[in-house]
Amino acid sequence: MYDVIIVGAGACGIFAAYELVQTNPKIKILMIEKGHALEGRKCPIDGKMVKRCVNCNICNIVSGYGGSGSMSDGKYNITNQFGGELFKYVGEKEALALMHYVDEVNCKMGGEGAHLYSTANSRLKTEALRNDLHLLEAQIRHFGTDRNRVILANFYNYLKGRIDMIFDTEVRTISGDRNGFTVNAGSKDYPSRYLILATGRSGSKWISTVCDKLGITTKRNRVDIGVRVEIPAEVFSHITDEVYESKLVYRTKKYSDAVRTFCMNPYGEVVTENTNGVITVNGHSYSDPKLHTENTNFALLVSNTFTEPFKDSNEYGESIARLSNMLGGGVLVQRFGDLVKGQRTNEHRLAQNFLRPTLNATPGDLSLVIPKRQLDDIIEMIHALDKIAPGTANESTLLYGVEVKFYNSKVEVDQNLETKVKGLYILGDGSGVTHSLSQASASGVHVGRLIGQTLLGVRC
């Protein structure tokens, strides 16, 4: 009989386990992860000039110890302005306090020396406002993909003698009664008093199935669709050297839609990821200067919020990504100049391009994939960014598509992130409450403390 079972070994699950151990070392904890342990996580086409995903049964980019965050560039944004709505549940001050605590622990676990940037009171904020762009405020700790894995390895070494961990095992069913829960995984049953579901973005469909079975209310209505922009690092260096991650929001004149920059990777590289069998594009960067490229990449995303009767916003995003997969066998890339002129980028034009791509994507025409409204929004945003970073709208700028950010169904939980099923907590990006490493980790800390204190007999 376990005190707590944690399903999912991403940032949220790891921090929940860490805080449970910190609060009460005697707690008996089991963590179950469908993906590989950290040392086993390696994309088979990583570093190879291969365009097509080989469709592994479990994608190493989004699943396994560390979750999607382990293969990211390790960027933690300490803010309530974006990255989720944890503050609506625990309060603004407490949410920030939790994120700062996460930062302290990460630094202690191997992240010391990583620079902490801030966008507050920056020159960029004034310049952006003069051009109708809005810079969201945050403190940003960038660990880099390489140092991020060191931190995760240290977490693993700390936890391995204190909790039980099972990898390469998928949870099949969950049942509960007044005595607790039974989790069936790998043909075995595991009983527990408390159950934490922290499956992240890759577990979105599974979480929805669990909630439907248990009668827990969920809401689905948003997906972000866009492209990943790649430019010479010099074009944005005056911004990235000062604030590293610039979260800029622009409202288009044509449709009055909100477009934003997302996941900026100075001197980084563009990568692919597999979400529910659909190949999309992402990016990351390293802390080690020896691994830097000459390019910077970032996403431009248009938020799509749907009203009744349509409910499956993620399926809408997946269908657009599938078009890209159908036409290009994966990710498409197009020169900005070709897109504006209405012509397809081909192998010859790409070979003659001044900017060298960091991802071996298929040259093509994004206008055959992305709906006109979103594409018009993206083009207008690029011209807006060109005012504060001249060169963004150069003909040689590369656009990779499609980048889709799937938002998990927002699960109905209380201020403790507990569902109506007593003892069942759904948190992190899997709950739809958070959309970032910082807030997902903070939600794990929050619930870890609550359960730990309860098991100690302390009134929370």
pLDDT in tens, 253-289: 999 999 999 999 999 999 988 877 788 999 988 888 9
Greater model confidence, 27 or 275? 27
Residue 17 · residue 207 · CB < 8 Å = no
pLDDT in tens, 109-121: 999 999 999 987 6
Residue 215 · residue 24 · CB < 8 Å = no
In this predicted structure, what is the pLDDT of residue 221?
Answer: 62
In this predicted structure, what is the pLDDT of residue 458?
Answer: 46
Measured CA to CA, the distance from residue 33 to residue 8 in angstroms comes to 5
Residue 421 · residue 210 · CB < 8 Å = no
Of 49-63, 72-86, 92-106, 197-211, the one with minimum mean pLDDT is: 49-63
> In whole numbers, what is the pLDDT of the chain averaged over residues?
91
In this predicted structure, what is the pLDDT of residue 46?
Answer: 67
Average pLDDT of span 246-256: 95
pLDDT in tens, 280-320: 999 988 888 999 999 999 999 998 887 777 777 878 888 99
Residue 141 · residue 110 · CB < 8 Å = no
Is the pLDDT at 175 greater than 70? The verdict is: yes
Residue 460 banded pLDDT, cuts 50, 70, 90: very low
Is the pLDDT at 69 greater than 80? The verdict is: no
pLDDT in tens, 145-165: 889 999 999 999 999 999 999
Is the pLDDT at 435 greater than 50? The verdict is: yes
pLDDT in tens, 391-422: 999 999 999 999 988 777 789 999 999 999 99
In this predicted structure, what is the pLDDT of residue 179?
Answer: 87
Q: What are phi and psi of 305, to 5 degrees?
A: -110, 130
Q: What percent of the chain has pLDDT over 70?
A: 97
In this predicted structure, what is the pLDDT of residue 397?
Answer: 98
For residue 185, the SS3 value is strand
Of 53-67, 122-136, 257-271, 405-419, the one with minimum mean pLDDT is: 53-67
Average pLDDT of span 425-432: 92
Q: Does domain 2-115+140-219+409-455 have CATH number 3.40.50.12280?
A: no
Please, what sign has the CA dihedral across residues 141, 397, 299, 261? positive
From residue 259, alpha-carbon distances to 301, 313, 379, 402 in Å are 6, 18, 10, 15
From residue 217, alpha-carbon distances to 86, 208, 406, 423 in Å are 18, 9, 19, 16
The structure tokens listed for 321 are 């990504």
Is the pLDDT at 40 greater than 90? The verdict is: no
Beta bridge partners of 283: 270
Average pLDDT of span 190-194: 97
For residue 77, the SS3 value is strand
Is the pLDDT at 51 greater than 60? The verdict is: no
Residue 423 · residue 177 · CB < 8 Å = no
Average pLDDT of span 79-101: 96
The domains of the chain are located at 2-115+140-219+409-455, 222-406
Instruction: Report the candidate in 3, 119, 1, 7 with the shortest Cα–Cα distance to residue 63.
Output: 7
Is the pLDDT at 52 greater than 70? The verdict is: no
Greater model confidence, 376 or 279? 376
Instruction: Report the candidate in 131, 138, 109 with the shortest Cα–Cα distance to residue 11.
Output: 109
Residues in CB range of 226: below 8 A, 6 or more apart: 259, 262, 299, 300, 301, 302, 370, 374, 378, 401, 402, 403, 404
pLDDT in tens, 353-365: 999 999 999 999 9
Average pLDDT of span 187-206: 91
pLDDT in tens, 214-234: 999 988 767 899 999 999 999
Beta bridge partners of 188: 185
